[in-house]
Structure 1
């Protein structure tokens, strides 16, 4: 695999994520305030495949903050889009999915609707910088119908070395 991951089979778009990763998180202290500060914290993520690659689950452990998260990704064969479904041990509820796909450049963009602090938000996830040993995830919210985006969380993934 090179710097741009293989998107020749859309149903295998997330194969790059399988395995164990160290994750450097950087998150705004207030997701909706562009002036808010950032907090940084480490995590470990483990991802495995289901449905022959057309689904996967990852679990992220954030021991410094005392929570774990889970993403279930499902490939819709009919629409050729992925749904990314998130939950965490903090709430125990499934958040609304974001939907999208990877482009020919290997960048994945996924959008959905949610609420944050009582406000309706448009959500965007972007996967980029994908290689054998690295990947980047970014979350941004829009309050104005996707005219402007505020990035509020990034994760830099580095593949864990195997013994």
Structure 2
């Protein structure tokens, strides 16, 4: 008779477990429901100076025990309405945030995450990406404005970050709903 013995194998894997009592508060200013005023440059990195203004809504909730959040957006472009989402997560080791963008028009593609942190109520987040096949740098700037309306801006650089073109801005107003 053949006897089989199973010996349990215990492997210790070092990991950084966030302290659930101390989630980051950097994005607490944007939690809730908002009306949003958008301004978007009509063409990016082409010398364009014409902007399109439109409105939208945004609703942000905490996830991952407060170590992340998800922002659900309705963008009311002049010719169509688009759903989009931002996903943010906090890395306790680097003390930085990563932000991904998902556009409902391309539901299988998450944008390259921008990564960064807040200092004095201003968050700066960067990524290397491409635009029309050429390499660019992307910058998100968040102004928390604790007693006012939060603001966000996106800028692109085609020269490695020496110069930046702001191409989208958002101003958030607390929703009455």
Relative to the length of structure 2, the TM-score reads 0.82
1:27-56 Cα deviation digits (max 9, x unpaired): 001021233410011000000001232100
**C-alpha distance in 1, partners of 2:53/2:144?**
20
**C-alpha distance in 1, partners of 2:94/2:144?**
25
Aligned to 2:12: none
**C-alpha distance in 2, partners of 1:68/1:109?**
24
Aligned to 2:67: 54
- In the TM superposition, what is the alpha-carbon distance from 1:59 to its structure 2 partner? 0.8
1:59-104 Cα deviation digits (max 9, x unpaired): 110244321110000000110000000011111110000000001x
Higher Cα Rg, which structure: 2
Q: Secondary structure at the match of 2:117?
A: strand
1:65-144 → structure 2 map (5 Å cutoff): 65-92=80-107, 93-103=109-119, 105-144=120-159
Listed as ranges, the gaps of 5+ residues in structure 1 are: 1-8
Q: Is the 8 A contact 1:10 1:102 kept in 2?
A: no
Q: Is the 8 A contact 1:10 1:80 kept in 2?
A: no
Aligned to 2:50: 37
Relative to the length of structure 1, the TM-score reads 0.88
Aligned to 1:3: none
Q: Is the 8 A contact 1:135 1:156 kept in 2?
A: yes
The list of structure 1 runs, each at least 4 consecutive aligned residues, that deviate by more than 4 angstroms after superposition, is none
**C-alpha distance in 2, partners of 1:161/1:142?**
37
- In the TM superposition, what is the alpha-carbon distance from 1:161 to its structure 2 partner? 1.8
Q: Secondary structure at the match of 2:93?
A: coil
**C-alpha distance in 2, partners of 1:129/1:16?**
6
**C-alpha distance in 2, partners of 1:35/1:66?**
24
- In the TM superposition, what is the alpha-carbon distance from 1:133 to its structure 2 partner? 4.8
Q: Is the 8 A contact 2:99 2:114 kept in 1?
A: yes
Q: Secondary structure at the match of 2:29?
A: helix
Q: Is the 8 A contact 2:23 2:66 kept in 1?
A: no
